[in-house]
Amino acid sequence: MRIKKGVNIFTSLVTAGVFVAIAPGSALAANDEPLTGGWAPSEWGADDMAGSVNTTTPRMVVKAARLVKRGKVATLGKIYAQDAPAFGSRGWRMTIPGLPTGGPFGNQELVYNDEYLSTEIGQIGTQFDGPGHIGVRTSKGDFFYNGRYLTDAGVSAYGMGPLGVEHVAKIGFVCRGVLLDAVALRGGQLPIPVEASPSDPGIITAEDVKTMIRKQGIAPIGEGDCVFLYTGHGNIWHPTNWDSYDAAEKTRRVAEFNSGEPGFGISACEYLASRKIILWGADTWASEAVGPGFAGETSQPFECHIKLMTKRGIWNLENMDLSQLVADKAYEFLFAWSPLKIKGGTGSPGNPVAMY
Amino acid sequence: MRIKKGVNIFTSLVTAGVFVAIAPGSALAANDEPLTGGWAPSEWGADDMAGSVNTTTPRMVVKAARLVKRGKVATLGKIYAQDAPAFGSRGWRMTIPGLPTGGPFGNQELVYNDEYLSTEIGQIGTQFDGPGHIGVRTSKGDFFYNGRYLTDAGVSAYGMGPLGVEHVAKIGFVCRGVLLDAVALRGGQLPIPVEASPSDPGIITAEDVKTMIRKQGIAPIGEGDCVFLYTGHGNIWHPTNWDSYDAAEKTRRVAEFNSGEPGFGISACEYLASRKIILWGADTWASEAVGPGFAGETSQPFECHIKLMTKRGIWNLENMDLSQLVADKAYEFLFAWSPLKIKGGTGSPGNPVAMY
Amino acid sequence: MRIKKGVNIFTSLVTAGVFVAIAPGSALAANDEPLTGGWAPSEWGADDMAGSVNTTTPRMVVKAARLVKRGKVATLGKIYAQDAPAFGSRGWRMTIPGLPTGGPFGNQELVYNDEYLSTEIGQIGTQFDGPGHIGVRTSKGDFFYNGRYLTDAGVSAYGMGPLGVEHVAKIGFVCRGVLLDAVALRGGQLPIPVEASPSDPGIITAEDVKTMIRKQGIAPIGEGDCVFLYTGHGNIWHPTNWDSYDAAEKTRRVAEFNSGEPGFGISACEYLASRKIILWGADTWASEAVGPGFAGETSQPFECHIKLMTKRGIWNLENMDLSQLVADKAYEFLFAWSPLKIKGGTGSPGNPVAMY
Amino acid sequence: MRIKKGVNIFTSLVTAGVFVAIAPGSALAANDEPLTGGWAPSEWGADDMAGSVNTTTPRMVVKAARLVKRGKVATLGKIYAQDAPAFGSRGWRMTIPGLPTGGPFGNQELVYNDEYLSTEIGQIGTQFDGPGHIGVRTSKGDFFYNGRYLTDAGVSAYGMGPLGVEHVAKIGFVCRGVLLDAVALRGGQLPIPVEASPSDPGIITAEDVKTMIRKQGIAPIGEGDCVFLYTGHGNIWHPTNWDSYDAAEKTRRVAEFNSGEPGFGISACEYLASRKIILWGADTWASEAVGPGFAGETSQPFECHIKLMTKRGIWNLENMDLSQLVADKAYEFLFAWSPLKIKGGTGSPGNPVAMY
């Protein structure tokens, strides 16, 4: 199946019958692989609520800090704004109450402004997916990281309880950041995949990962690393000149950006997991290949999400701005960042700092 | 004037006639010090929108990275939750749509959750104050950093335009972090000041700063540093055992926490500015002394806010959790963090990472 | 069991083990009365999405209009504001972006203001409960009016689909409004019930309803009527002088208001259903007796909610201001109102108009 | 100047230089007509906060109730939903926390749902404009109804204070509703005006109003009436079959709907004011002609808004669904409705009830 450029991936896949939202009471057999496949307890114990971020040792931290040589700093987050792309029904609304919001106070006549924001704070723009974001419907209920369920005590309409992102955020990510420059590998911006075979240029395989590491001349991916993929797809929603587009062009670009994405295929994700990385990310909205074909390297929608996060607790950072790292050929760097401690949040916004 | 413990500072000061909100059309003379005192253009030029964060050089970054010796990591943000303290009318509301929000999708029956949040995102909990937050009412209008006004092009009900926090967030803070342990200095949690004299134990003076540096055995505060004050006041809204309190105890503690705070006095803030630091912060909601007396070290409400931020572009990080740094006696460390790139935002939430 | 005045009913009942939130996967037997008791299809057919509002005939409308004799008008809604009582975790936040939000435009220099509101719009303050608000957990899923389930097509994280309030709102309520003055009956404001027996003065029984009708000298309750109960409990959160209270007094009153309520007992609700009324309401937050005793007249929490709404589609209007009607002894009147057509909403705010 | 169909009126007019937002400090002379023209105090006295709704007498109410002859009821509000048209940056976001939001409670296993909404509640969809919505920038500040200013005590970032809609909502509108069927007059849906002359078919003049009254065979417009104009423009955003359109068609229709509108011209508005009506409205988003030409009948943007509301306190109800009234040729009817008592709100949503 091929989908047209600029058509929303969800509209297409729903039409094609792939993304059927199945009601809980439906006849479809639940996916019990999490139960039979030994997904829980995780390697950090049945009580763990943080996942791969536990991997980091003081030695890794000291070693990563030594990557700061040039004294350069890059901020890896994108702009949060109402006209930025958002998945599905999500949105971003911000206003300034009062302008100024308060004052003047005292003889110095201080005035101040706040901003009032309504949004899916952990799931819009540059976003970190935490333990409560992705699960699998099983016959025992909706299964999340480390065998927790949406029916567990503490999970409610007001927060994810033991699946909240704050449990990850208390620890934080300090790691060797690795940039994989797939645009250099492919000789240009990667296309949205049109099939699910490993030869589709929009899909990055395990072999592609190894090839990039070799060509970029850096040490192999190892335990505790944070690995980020540059596909060029993020430039459709470009971080620097977005405001130069008119409304129609913005609308067109948002639609194209959302219509699918190049990215890691299953073999790459399994390889990254085997190397014991602690964070993966990309300049795309899902960090993995999303296209119409679901076989081989993308056998199901968001399969890397499930295999890395729900199964292994290796969280994900989406919609990163990797452009400065690419321009500087900063292929490895000190990455230091933590999600916000949002009690019961499913994820977090972010603007991580890279130093090299 | 003395105020009772547990009484909201604003209620008290409004009652006392100090915090009179003055209508624009009122007869009170405007505060024209920003116009006559040469506050604009800033030292980074008339076009600058970022302030002190411009100070950092590659050499400073490399030097700061060398502070990572033990390989330890601390996250300095507090928990964001509905029952955390908030100033004035601010609030935090978060819900989980659907639970799960979407799915199941595909044969793997993926489900996902979002969170929907409504809040003053840049001015609640652990918060960074950006260029658009604090200004001064002058006869030319409401004056903000670098001579910008609320009537400037781009400033609107939907965002702060050239005063937006994203202009700072594009650069980010990488610096030597300095912890000033005032609890060790005073021999216990600092009280809310009851007078404005330098001898009030709730007020940290320039001399106190120098004493702490000397006693802690670290190099003097220098250009490009980020300086954070530990007063113990933040433990009233304690970061670790908050959920163990019942609703009444939480309410009592929120009131006490908000009723004033110990912190930097004017002499300390002027000293920090003279040393060319790029960020200041504390475990309190305003990072400076707030009490009933307005003379001497706290001559007006939030005077350090005005003198450091509006006048000099040295931004501020409030409500930090400094407890791990204190426990580890980590008096200097690599601080690496950037606010979120919230287009037109007045500030940003945060969970900064310290490495040492 | 007795609960103390001013203690939140939910805190009390959760402590007492009555309001145990039971996880879907728990061992407790589901309540299958809706399945075995013939609750669906409703009397208006299996496709109906509106309920009792279908009852009204043109003849009833003309007859109700004839009740307008004095030419007086009363508005029956209360003030929506942040400091008004709200149930559980609900809240109300409103700000004015910009002040003014936009302009000036054109030579006339028009400026305008909007308000930005975040709230549980259909379930706060004066509120109408629609088809999607109250259901019963059965072995087939969460059962709502006319045999719809939360797993039905169209019900999602973004709206109630076929259970949305707009299906009622398209029709609207025009009826004979009947005021039952229980304060006159009891000789004073009704207390929160302390037991569940019919003799508790906080519980209005079927006999009490008939007595009030007789004493007030109006025709018996009949088909198509809208019946509203005045208990005086609503005066704790008084509609007229609320702003004269200080913050502590407001907090105390909100707690007392929420700690339980007098109101209709089961016998009264069954009687009203037998008379085929189309709307019930009161000056309280649930329109029925809520207290610690669950036997006899209040055998379970919110039993009238289930019996009138989920089972019969007779909706409910809560937190009404009936004070003017009481003062005018306006025991019957033309009631004309419709909820907002909120697509997928669970309820609606309101400020109904009574004419007499 | 002509604008193309489907192009947003604001984009066009801003481009054309008509809708220049003028900064407060700009050189443009303020519009001091409100000060020199005797706009304040209003005819209801300097303390009045409600405006024309004060006009109604018991005699008018009784007379209006006599218009209920057929026993028919029409609800005049439109559907509130995320994909409905909204002016400028306004938006509508609603989610269902939890699904269910709470429960199960008690042996009957009650579950319940709330909806969480973020929106400009008084200025979206079917909307009532209250005293705080429209003002004029004068040399004394932003002038609103009855000589109130945005700098008055009580007006803040959190509400309009004495300009709040609750002061109108306490009284409510009960009146003879008059439907003016301009589609019948013109022989089809009215076009968006392309010039400002009285002969433009998109503009309804005073003479047109009188002609419609005569042709429809009803009594002249008189004191206390509520007058609603049917232009057919509202059918672009059709009330009944909206969900049958795909996303692209909805987007196209929203753009067309917002790109301007037919409606009352100045002569009609002055005529309605002279007849002492208490409410005006239409099936459009501004109830008055909005097009590119500003001379004659539409000399400035939203001139009727200023002349009827800011000057005279005759409020306005926008985006009404008048289709059933038109189909029933219900040219006069009992109109009974009140805005919500939103403390400090600029307006209110609505779903008014018409009876005839």
pLDDT (tens digit per residue) in C196-214: 788 899 999 999 999 999 9
A contacts of B62 (beta carbons < 8 Å): 68-71
Cis-peptide into D104, omega within 30 deg: yes
Which positions ≥6 away from C238 have C-beta within 8 Å? none
Place of tokens 């303020």: D30
Phi, psi of A142 (to 5 degrees): -80, 110
Binning pLDDT at 50, 70 and 90, where does residue A82 land? very high
Amino acid at C168: V
**Chain B residue whose CA is closest to D159:** B89
Residues C38-64 have pLDDT tens digits of: 999 999 999 999 999 999 999 999 999
Q: For residue B186, what are the CA distances in angstroms to A261, B114, B191, B234, D133?
A: 57, 45, 10, 16, 54
3-class SS of residue C300: coil
Place of tokens 């590659």: B58
**C82 interfaces chain B, CB cutoff of 8 Å:** yes
Tokens of A136: 């699998």
C contacts of D120 (beta carbons < 8 Å): 114-117
**A140 interfaces chain B, CB cutoff of 8 Å:** no
Counting residues of chain C whose pLDDT is more than 70, the rounded percentage is 90
- Report pLDDT for A28: 55
**Chain D residue whose CA is closest to C24:** D104
Phi, psi of D53 (to 5 degrees): -65, -15
CB contact under 8 A, C118 and D122: no
How many contacts does C have with D, using Cβ atoms within 8 A?
A: 355
Question: CA C52, C54, C60: angle at the middle one, nearest 5?
Answer: 100
Residues A50-69, mean pLDDT to the nearest whole number: 98
Residues A200-221, mean pLDDT to the nearest whole number: 97
Q: For residue B26, what are the CA distances in angstroms to B10, D151, D152, D288, D339?
A: 21, 9, 10, 37, 33
Which one of D118, D150, D160 would you mutate to disrupt binding with A, by most A Cβ within 10 Å of its Cβ?
D118
Alpha-carbon distance of D301 to D303, in angstroms, equals: 6
Burial of B35 (0-12, 13-18, 19+ CB in 10 A): middle
Alpha-carbon distance of A253 to A242, in angstroms, equals: 10
- Report pLDDT for C124: 97
Amino acid at A4: K
Q: Residue B272 in contact with residue B264, Cβ under 8 Å?
A: yes
Beta-strand runs (E) in chain A: 73-75, 92-95, 102-105, 110-112, 116-119, 127-129, 134-138, 141-144, 148-149, 173-181, 203-204, 226-230, 263-264, 279-282, 315-318, 332-337, 347-349, 353-355
For helices C206-216 and C266-274, the axis angle rounded to 10 degrees is: 60
- Report pLDDT for B9: 52
Alpha-carbon distance of C135 to B72, in angstroms, equals: 52
Which one of D93, D94, D96 would you mutate to disrupt binding with B, by most B Cβ within 10 Å of its Cβ?
D96
Nearest to C91 among B91, B98, B101 (CB): B91
Burial of B42 (0-12, 13-18, 19+ CB in 10 A): buried
Tokens of C115: 């308000």
Alpha-carbon distance of D116 to B81, in angstroms, equals: 17
Cis-peptide into B301, omega within 30 deg: no
Alpha-carbon distance of A346 to A152, in angstroms, equals: 15
Alpha-carbon distance of A219 to A216, in angstroms, equals: 9
Phi, psi of B284 (to 5 degrees): -130, 175
CB contact under 8 A, D102 and A11: no
Alpha-carbon distance of B108 to B289, in angstroms, equals: 56
Q: For residue C262, what are the CA distances in angstroms to C286, C297, D6?
A: 9, 12, 56
- Report pLDDT for B28: 55
- Report pLDDT for B294: 56
CB contact under 8 A, B102 and A122: no
Tokens of B119: 């809040």
pTM of the model: 0.94
C contacts of D150 (beta carbons < 8 Å): 99-100, 113
Which positions ≥6 away from A67 have C-beta within 8 Å? A176, A177, A332, A333, A334, A355, A356
- Comparing A243 with A317, the larger pLDDT belongs to A317
3-class SS of residue A52: helix
Nearest to D118 among B89, B118, B151 (CB): B118
Those residues of chain B that have pLDDT short of 70 are 1-29, 293-296, 299
**C102 interfaces chain B, CB cutoff of 8 Å:** yes
A contacts of B103 (beta carbons < 8 Å): 21-22, 137
Sign of the Cα pseudo-torsion (A78, A83, A88, A90, in order): positive
Which positions ≥6 away from A352 have C-beta within 8 Å? A75, A76, A77, A173, A317, A320, A335, A336, A337, B338
Cα Rg for chain A, rounded, in angstroms? 21
Residues C285-332 have pLDDT tens digits of: 999 999 876 566 776 789 999 999 999 999 999 999 999 999 999 999
- Report pLDDT for B30: 81
Amino acid at C162: P
Tokens of B184: 């060790």
Binning pLDDT at 50, 70 and 90, where does residue A196 land? confident
B contacts of D97 (beta carbons < 8 Å): 95-97, 99, 116
Binning pLDDT at 50, 70 and 90, where does residue A1 land? very low
- Report pLDDT for C294: 57
Say if residue A150's pLDDT is above 70: yes
- In DSSP notation, D117-144 reads EEE-TTSSSSEEE-TTTEEEEETTEEEE
Question: Bridge partners of D89?
Answer: none
- Report pLDDT for A241: 85
- Report pLDDT for D177: 98
Residues C247-273, mean pLDDT to the nearest whole number: 93
CB contact under 8 A, D157 and A101: yes
- Report pLDDT for D11: 52
Å between D211 CA and nearest CA of chain C = 30
- Report pLDDT for B17: 45
Alpha-carbon distance of C131 to C133, in angstroms, equals: 6
From the list C283, C262, C282, the residue with the least C-alpha distance to C272 is C282
Which positions ≥6 away from B246 have C-beta within 8 Å? none
Those residues of chain D that have pLDDT short of 70 are 1-29, 293-296, 299
Tokens of A254: 């948002």
Cβ neighbours, 10 Å, residue D197: 15
Q: Residue C149 in contact with residue C143, Cβ under 8 Å?
A: yes
CB contact under 8 A, D157 and C95: yes
Nearest to B136 among A94, A110, A123 (CB): A110
Cβ neighbours, 10 Å, residue B154: 12
CB contact residues (below 8 A), chain C span 175-214, against chain D? none
For helices D266-274 and D206-216, the axis angle rounded to 10 degrees is: 60
Lowest mean pLDDT among A38-52, A246-260, B214-228, B287-301: B287-301
- The torsion angle over the Cα atoms of residues D337, D343, D344 and D350, rounded to 10 degrees, is -30
Strands across the sheet containing C102-105? C102-105, C110-112, D134-138, D141-144, D148-149
- Report pLDDT for C169: 98
Place of tokens 């399994």: A270
Average model confidence (pLDDT) for chain A?
91
Alpha-carbon distance of A289 to A305, in angstroms, equals: 11
From the list A109, A159, A114, the residue with the least C-alpha distance to A132 is A159
Sign of the Cα pseudo-torsion (C201, C202, C204, C205, in order): negative
**Chain C residue whose CA is closest to A153:** C23
Binning pLDDT at 50, 70 and 90, where does residue A297 land? confident
- Report pLDDT for B106: 86
- The torsion angle over the Cα atoms of residues D127, D133, D134 and D135, rounded to 10 degrees, is 170
Cis-peptide into D41, omega within 30 deg: yes
Cβ neighbours, 10 Å, residue D213: 18
Tokens of C8: 């939140």
**Chain C residue whose CA is closest to A155:** C23
Place of tokens 């920090």: B272
Which positions ≥6 away from C293 have C-beta within 8 Å? C1, C193, C194, C195, C196, C197, C200
3-class SS of residue B76: coil
CB contact residues (below 8 A), chain C span 211-230, against chain B? none
Phi, psi of A237 (to 5 degrees): -100, 80
